[in-house]
Amino acid sequence: MSLLDKAARGERLLADEIAALYELPLSDVASVAHSLRLTRANPEVVTYLIDRNINYTNICNVGCNFCAFYRTDRQKDAYTLDYGQISHKIRELEAVGGTRILMQGGVNPKLPLEYYTGLLRHIKTHHPGIRIEAFSPEEILGFEKFFALDASQVLDLLIEAGLDGLPGAGGEILEDEVRARAAPARISTSDWFRIIDIAQRKGLYTISTMVIGFGESYAQRAAHLVKLRDQQDKALASHGNGFAGFAMWSLQTAHTRLAGKAPGASAYEYLQQLAVARIALDNQPNIQASWPAQGFKVAQTALFYGASDLGSTMLEENVVSAAGGHGRHSATERELVRIAFDAGFTPAQRNSFFQVIRFPDVPTMLQPVRREEVPVV
């Protein structure tokens, strides 16, 4: 039986078999990935989330080589948002029917624990309908050091204040050789999984992630996927609260110390990686296409390479776009609906857990609009 036959039957691939997928014709790999997508996720529907990214501070002491977002506290454009500024952003999200904020920052050594717990309480009090998914494993690691608490204690305090989940940022390639080149002070592979595991055991939402384009080998990409798959197996077997989905994007290096040093990833490589991930991650049915890094057109194409979801509107994306991306900080619901509908799927708004909460009225939403309002899709 060929490798692709084995994959098409839904059989689990070993790490070296996953790495071998990159050497096969992409059209064949994509065909298998799409057929698996049609069985593992709703074949008719493409989902999206209406949410907002909020980057509460850009002050960070980690200094990743691939980051154009962070500042030191002495730089003129360093900032930390106050609760009123964050509330204002959430009100804008509420006005367009949004359901969650994805709130991350730099790892800011100047902020006290009370800033975070007070912020969570403020949001839950003033915006009770909004889920708060905030503070990546890198930030939780920083809190352990700043506040002399372990991750379990930190998360208990944050959950008690209103935290609903963690973003999966900081995963990139969970192989320490790659991480050491890209960002020597970045959270280690073992700490990333340690914090995710504690969060999952406490019932928090988490998502698995991947970033390609550091110059990592296919074997390292395969190893990354196997680690995510193993964590998912462990979580589902022991308590049932695994990763809600998988998001993958390509490295952007403009304005960073990796500019000209890391290759990034073309649309071809992005689509290839997405297809490989769909095949490898047999225990994660919800796989996102990324429009901020690759643009709307590649995101739409990705719906035939294993993706079943278009991510979210974001309203303001600051981190990927600071290092390049496709010049868009947000998507409208109309744009995401059009991408899904034109590709032959039924667009559906989802919640954080990829459950459909609303089918938009597509004919009304896609009615012709004045020329200056036509989105660039």
Annotated binding site: 60, 64, 66-67, 136, 172, 290, 312
Q: Which is nearer to ligand SF4, 201 or 261 (CB)?
A: 261
Q: Which is nearer to ligand SF4, 66 or 270 (CB)?
A: 66
- What's the angle, vertex CA 68, arms to CA 295 and CA 200, rounded to 5? 75
Binding site, annotated residues for S-adenosyl-L-methionine: 66, 172
Q: Which residues bind ligand SF4 (CB under 6 A)?
A: 60, 62-64, 67, 69-70, 106-107, 138
Question: What's the CA gap between 105 and 107, in Å, rounded?
Answer: 6
Helix boundaries (H) for the chain? 3-8, 15-21, 26-40, 83-95, 113-126, 137-147, 151-161, 176-182, 189-201, 218-238, 267-280, 291-301, 319-322, 333-342, 362-365
Residues 225/274, Cβ–Cβ less than 8 Å: no
In the complex, minimum distance from the CB of residue 139 to ligand SF4, in angstroms, rounded to a whole number: 8
In the complex, minimum distance from the CB of residue 226 to ligand SF4, in angstroms, rounded to a whole number: 24
The residues, ordered by sequence, that sit 6+ positions from 370 with a Cβ below 8 Å of its Cβ are: none
Altogether, the residues listed in the chain come to a count of 377
In the complex, minimum distance from the CB of residue 169 to ligand SF4, in angstroms, rounded to a whole number: 7
Question: What's the CA gap between 49 and 357, in Å, rounded?
Answer: 10
In the complex, minimum distance from the CB of residue 106 to ligand SF4, in angstroms, rounded to a whole number: 4
Question: What's the CA gap between 252 and 69, in Å, rounded?
Answer: 12
For residue 113, what are its two tokens? 């624990």
In the complex, minimum distance from the CB of residue 256 to ligand SF4, in angstroms, rounded to a whole number: 9
Q: How far is CA 105 from CA 145, 254, 304, in A?
A: 16, 20, 33
Binding site, annotated residues for [4Fe-4S] cluster: 60, 64, 67
Residues 310/336, Cβ–Cβ less than 8 Å: yes
Q: Which is nearer to ligand SF4, 107 or 336 (CB)?
A: 107
Q: Which is nearer to ligand SF4, 19 or 62 (CB)?
A: 62
Torsion of CA 177, 282, 308, 215, to 10 degrees: 20
In the complex, minimum distance from the CB of residue 361 to ligand SF4, in angstroms, rounded to a whole number: 39
User: Could you tell me which of 79, 167, 95, 6 has the C-alpha nearest to residue 332?
Assistant: 95
Find tokens 């999200």 and name the residue: 93
Binding site, annotated residues for (3R)-3-methyl-D-ornithine: 136, 290, 312
In the complex, minimum distance from the CB of residue 188 to ligand SF4, in angstroms, rounded to a whole number: 13
